[in-house]
Amino acid sequence: MRPSLGSRPKVVFLVGFMGAGKTSVGRALGRLLNWKFEDLDDRIEAREGRSIERIFADSGEAEFRRAESAALSELLRERDSFPRVVALGGGAFVQAQNAAMIQAAGVPTVFLDAPVEELYRRCEQEQRERPLRRDVKQFRELYEQRQQSYLAAGLRVDTYGKEVDAVAAEVACSLGLG
């Protein structure tokens, strides 16, 4: 969603698949705009008192999605407290109730994208474990299942072959914040 002329959003949500750069770009965008950066997964872990991996292992994906929706709802209630850039987990925007909450709040959403092979390569290079990243075939199938939902974001930015700061500047400019 694009902000209307004359208004500056106080919150921007970055959405997309694993490895798209939501956290890296979010931090860079936060620095560029002098806004706070927040990763929704960090909020979930703080609220639940355990890691995302532990939530999945102990309680399953359905419980994680419940905790994710609750954390998102809490964050949306705070959206006018101070400007911030928020990275959503790869499945957050795909959940219909979450997308509806975000749309109702009028918060701009930016879909960070890259070819699926590049996303997989980036995830392989990370140190952290991702509960839904298994083999490349499953990774591709999950990306294809989620892609239509991501395309509902107000803006799509391709991150392939771009430096993080350049992507952040592109997002800021496209949203009229740069």
Q: How far apart are CA 125 and CA 169, in angstroms?
A: 25
> What does the pLDDT read at residue 7?
63
Helix or strand (DSSP H, E) at 15: strand 11-15
pLDDT digit string, tens, across residues 145-157: 999 999 999 999 9
**Interatomic CA distance for residues 129 and 132, integer angstroms:** 9
Residues of the chain above pLDDT 90, percent: 75
Model confidence at 178: pLDDT above 80: no
Q: How far apart are CA 21 and CA 76, in angstroms?
A: 22
| pLDDT single digits (tens) 154-174 | 999 999 999 999 999 999 999
Q: What is the pLDDT of residues 65-123, one digit of tens each?
A: 999 999 999 999 998 788 999 999 999 999 999 999 999 999 999 999 999 999 988 88
Domains parsed from the chain with CATH numbers: 12-174 (3.40.50.300)
